[in-house]
Amino acid sequence: MMNVKDLIEKLNTQKSLTLEEYFFILDNYTEKDAEFAKKLAVQIRKSVYGNAIYIRGLIEVSNYCKNGCLYCGINRDNKSCTRYRLSMEEILSCCENGYKLGFRTFVMQGGEDNHFTDEFVCNVVKEIKARFPDCAVTLSLGERSYDSYKALYDAGADRYLLRHETADSEHYSMLHPSDLSLKTRIECLENLKSIGFQTGCGIMVGSPYQTNEHLAKDLKFIEEFDPQMCGIGPFLPHKDTVFADKEKGSFELTLFLLSLIRIMKPSILLPSTTALGTLREGGREMGIMAGANVIMPNLSPDTAKDKYMLYDNKLRTGLESVEGLEKLKQKFASIGYEIVTDRGDYKKQ
Ligand code: 5AD
């Protein structure tokens, strides 16, 4: 007979389970099992990263997007979305502010905007690296060709985030229009990794039609792909999408998945996402307490923040101000964590 606690321990010692075992965990876990996983996850993170929590300055560079992802508030078909893109100067001034606050990683995230040509993005990356040589640059600009990824890497970008969204191709096609496929997504991820990026995949928890079979596949995918980063946040509906009336993802399940991923991949960079903080007050802190080790405050200009709405009511924390960051530091210090001024690279084990 399988038992959830034994399987979590097996995951801890062997760092691998079968698809059936992942499914069994997801289908049978109790609050007590989640509590067990959480304690183990925190202990493991501590053994690799000590008390350090890494911060990344998120810069939402454009909300133009050529894709029609059914869940996403900035998808091409949303006519009520006011579009914007930042200029090179605006992006650099976000970095400037962030640098003063202690950020040593900048994440340029945006929709798939044709104006963000290789030439433009490479120039921005080179300029950031020239002005802030002790900083890492992460890109999150969607699917691009091998040559494009290679050019961005050669320009100095260190990391790339591209959530796989779901590891089940049928489920993938229920979340995306027919011009997008899981196959292409995975090819992109493989390319990023082979080029040398610290690469991040990830999913939304509780996306429409998601089942525990899908989530088991996601865990198996993460195990095998072995990413350096993984973005896990709850699905939250956006009013102008076809998923406007769909249920939100579960807060508890998101925390449990964070713990399982930490146990499976001790040195993974695991953000506690804005979506988690939006779903529940204090959610981002609870994500850290479940095994996450990264927080990504928003450094975008205020005018951009209102328009980069992937889902409704996106959290505006004020963490990106001096006072906000100070408060956060104190909050974490009181529970034994330290928010560090550091690039916070992946620690190879
Ligand atoms: N709810 C939660 N997350 C979302 N994302 C996009 N739309 C939503 C939504 N409605 C996530 C996707 C994407 C990342 C940038 O944001 O997983 O990869």
Q: Is the CB of 276 under 6 A from ligand 1?
A: no
pLDDT of residue 348: 82
Q: Is the CB of 310 under 6 A from ligand 1?
A: yes
Mean per-residue pLDDT pooled into runs of 10, the chain (349 residues)? 94 98 98 98 97 96 98 97 97 96 96 98 98 98 98 98 98 98 98 98 98 98 98 98 98 98 98 95 94 94 90 81 82 90 90
pLDDT of residue 234: 98
Q: Could you state, in order of their start, the residue ranges of all structural domains in the chain?
A: 53-340
Which of 310, 312, 313 best tests ligand 1's pocket when mutated (most atoms within 8 Å of CB)? 310
pLDDT of residue 328: 86
CA-to-CA separations, 258 to 15, 37, 248, 268, 282, in angstroms, rounded: 15, 9, 17, 11, 16
- The verdict on pTM exceeding 0.85 is yes
Digit-coded pLDDT (tens) for 57-88: 999 999 999 999 999 999 999 999 999 999 99
The CATH number assigned to the domain with range 53-340 reads 3.20.20.70
> Which pair of structure tokens corresponds to residue 340?
């560090």
Which of 107, 201, 230, 311 best tests ligand 1's pocket when mutated (most atoms within 8 Å of CB)? 311
Digit-coded pLDDT (tens) for 211-223: 999 999 999 999 9
State the distance from the centre of ligand 1 to the C-alpha of 60, rounded, in angstroms.
13
List Cβ neighbours of 195 (8 Å cut-off, separation of 6 or more).
146, 149, 150, 153
pLDDT of residue 69: 98
pLDDT of residue 1: 77
Are the beta carbons of 229 and 271 closer than 8 angstroms?
yes
pLDDT of residue 277: 92
